[in-house]
Structure 1
Amino acid sequence: MKRWVKIVLIALSLFIFIIVGYGIYLYVSVKSTVNAIYEPREPSEPSESIQTTTNTISTDTQGSRTVRMDKQESFTVLVMGVDQRENDVGRSDTLIVLSVNPSKESILMFNIPRDTRTEIIGYGTTDKINHAYAFGGVNMTIQTVENFLDMPIHYYIKVNMEGFSQIIDLLGGVEVENSFSFQYLGYEFAEGHLELSGDEALAYSRMRYDDPRGDFGRNTRQREILKQIIKNALKVTNIVHVKSMIDEVGNNVKTDITFDEMKKFLTDYRSGLNQIETFELNGQGKKINGIYYYVIESSEKERVHQLIEEHLQTVENQ
């Protein structure tokens, strides 16, 4: 064999070795980083009151909800935006439910208003739903939401509200359509199309007292920002970028989505999620014993339950 051929083959072999080795390093590194934000909820038996006809909800021997991501099954996610400070348990400032269905190429999204009056599961009281986190953290919040919607929650993502700004900056900011001009926390938001940094988006999503629709206006802005975050995140394909993002937000994000499930979602689901639909829960503000609550009637809960259940069903089953 000629000398120059040997040199080329050796160089090519080294190049392949370096590429493969670097790929393995990134894989192990990303897996370790994702595992750092993994925080499983305590296993519990699903409530007997939860009834569903969807074919995507099953349970393992621990009573945990399981999803066959290798079969691209649909699933639900509870996003908790937690206002948590040092030496303070905090409260779930934001509760957003996502129904993800790849067969329909869509995500269904809605807020549960923070002042919603409901039974707090495991605490033996009726209170504002955002108090569940203060009383019992992630597990009590999920169980309370499941009972309220009469629908299982497959996964959760808990984000410290301050962490939202980091996530948004790492994704290159967000673009929103602002329906009216206002000022908040030193920022001025003009009416119309806006390009927001992380800090600006956080302030934009938190204002409610100067909003004609109060908490509902704030919820609408939060959903709009989350829609943009999801769309921007689904465009991320570079594994190095994924790792740097997780490294940055690791202290502010916890989830029970495993590394393998995250891989399946990024590889098998991402290309099929083209639509994000939103809606609001209808209710009425009332004062009960001097405390303001948002009261949602059972008929409205049933309507929302049906919307989620229908959205979770595969196209073939409709």
Structure 2
Amino acid sequence: MREQRIKKRKKWKKMLLVGLIVFSVLLATGLAYAYSLYSQLDQAATKMHEKIDWTGSGNQKEKIEQKEPLNILLMGVDERAGDKGRSDTLIVMKINPQDDSLTMLSIPRDTRVEIVGRGKMDKINHSYAFGGTKMTVETVENFLDLKLDYYIKVNMEALSEIVDALGGITVNNNLTWSDEGYYKKGYIYKKGEITLDGPKTLGYVRMRHLDNNGDFGRQARQRQVINAIVDKGASVSSINKIDNILEVLGDRVKTNMTFSEMKDIQKGYIGARKNKKTLELKGSGSKIDGVYYWVPTKESLKDIQNSL
């Protein structure tokens, strides 16, 4: 594993550091330690916290105390009735308080990797179906040659509920389309600035077949939506919505991050949302034994490993 500062890219991309939504609201209101809000956040964090057979880097406390960069995996899990689900959104986030940066890497769902614990090559989003959170984080660590500190697992339905709790978000849509397929609801997304409620947001981040950029277009919309959520969460208008936001987070989000660690990150790392950066893993689509995979180039993967 290697540490080095990452140069700014011309364009930035995203997805969901759900904790930053709460931290941004706390910072904006200046009420982080008011007793009533503190108590609500404590209760939500307790519901969110879970223990699994994975310790991460093992020195998270020391890293936070010394304000070293933290590596967090965001998993957007699309679970349906009778189906354990797959981690269709995987974003590695590096939060660096030394230069107040939030660097994000989206891993395409069809990326061909070795699934840790199974000893075989498969699509990375299948790791969750095979072995849940533990197998997913260990597979990502192995793929990127990186030790993660934390994970944040979000049920995709939480995205809808968070947007509604905030009173909607505004995004700049770069193409016009009507939703289709499994998630068809009859929504029309016009090109330009549009306002989305929760259900429309889900359709916005799930679409890929009508976009010439496919899964990469969907990743860009996901990043766009989460940044809109973070910015809305940090606005003064969200102060009166904090109860609803915390309720959604407690019910729909799971993480190995404790309440104490959340508070320390809020104090020492919140400035990172000011400078968003992106890393892009380059590769191409390929059929192997009749199955479609996205295969990263060795050079690009090596560059990413050196940068994180």
TM range (shorter): 0.7 to 0.9
Amino acid at match of 1:195: T
Give the match for residue 252 of structure 2. 252
Report the CA distance between 1:290 and its aligned residue.
Answer: 0.3
The residue correspondences of 1:64-143 to structure 2 (distance < 5 A) are 66=61, 68-143=63-138
Deviation at 1:236, TM superposition (A): 7.0
Equivalence for 2:27: none
TM superposition shift of 1:206: 0.5
Task: Give me the whole-angstrom Cα distance separating, in 2, the residues matched to 1:199 and 1:206.
Answer: 11
* Residues 95, 272 of structure 2: 8 Å contact kept: no
Q: 1:300, CA displacement in angstroms?
A: 1.3
Which secondary structure state, in structure 2, belongs to the residue aligned with residue 89 of structure 1? strand
Q: Deviations over 1:86-135 (max 9, x none)?
A: 33211111111111112211111121000000000011211000000000
| Deviation readout 1:45-65 (Å, 9 max, x if unpaired) | x7xxxxxxxxxxx635xxxx5
Counterpart CA distance in 2 for 1:237 and 1:192 is 24
Residue identity opposite 1:146 in structure 2: E
**TM-score of the superposed pair, with normalisation by structure 1:** 0.78
- Taking structure 2 as the reference length, the TM-score comes to 0.81
Q: 1:263 to 1:40 in 2, by over 3 A?
A: same
Give secondary structure in 2 for the equivalent of 1:273: helix
1:180 counterpart = 2:175: yes
SS of residue matched to 2:154: strand
Q: Compared with structure 1, are the counterparts of its residues 280 and 23 closer, same or farther at alpha carbon in structure 2 (3 Å cutoff)? A: closer
Pairing 1:104-253 to 2, within 5 Å after superposition: 104-184=99-179, 185=184, 186-235=186-235, 241-253=241-253
2:230 counterpart SS class: helix
1:240 to partner: Cα distance: 7.4
Q: Specify the alignment match of 1:34 in structure 2.
A: 45
Conserved? CA contact 2:64–2:265, under 8 Å: yes
* Equivalent in the alignment of 1:287: 287
AA at the equivalent of 2:247: D
For 2:18, the equivalent position in structure 1 comes to none
1:229-259 Cα shifts (integer Å, max 9, x gaps):
2333345798875443121232221111110
Q: What one-letter code is carried by the residue in structure 2 that aligns with 1:252?
A: R
Change (3 A) 1:242 1:264: farther
What displacement does 1:269 show?
A: 2.2
Distance 2:35 2:102 in 1: 33
Question: Is the radius of gyration larger for structure 1 or structure 2?
Answer: 1
Letter in 1 for 2:278: T
Cα offset, 1:267, TM superposition: 2.8
Distance 1:23 1:35, change over 3 A: same
Gaps of 5+ in 1: 1-21, 47-57, 309-318
**Whole-Å Cα distance in 1 between the matches of residues 114 and 61 of structure 2?**
25
The structure-2 alpha-carbon separation of the partners of 1:86 and 1:236, relative to structure 1 and needing over 3 Å to count, comes to: farther
- The whole-number CA distance in structure 2 between the counterparts of 1:187 and 1:69 is 44
Taking the aligned partners of 1:239 and 1:267, their CA distance within structure 2 comes to 19
Return the alpha-carbon distance in structure 2 between the equivalents of residues 261 and 222 of structure 1. Answer: 26
Q: Percent identity?
A: 42
Q: CA deviation at 1:139?
A: 0.6
- Alpha-carbon distance change, 39 to 301 in structure 1, aligned in 2, over 3 angstroms: same
Residue matched to 1:5: none
**Contact 1:175/1:194 (CA < 8 Å) preserved in 2?**
yes
Q: How well do the aligned residues superpose, as a CA RMSD in angstroms?
A: 2.3
- Once the 2 structures are TM-superposed, how far is the Cα of residue 172 of structure 1 from its aligned partner? 3.2
Aligned-pair CA distance for 1:23: 4.9
Which letter maps to 1:287? K
Structure 1: distance between partners of 2:171 and 2:36:
38
One-letter code of the match for 2:113?
A: T
1:296 paired residue number: 296
Determine which structure has greater relative contact order: mean sequence separation of CA pairs < 8 Å that are 6+ residues apart, divided by chain length: 2
Letter in 2 for 1:101: N
The offset of 1:180, in angstroms, is 1.1
1:116–1:203 CA distance, 2 compared to 1 (3 A): same
Aligned residues: 271
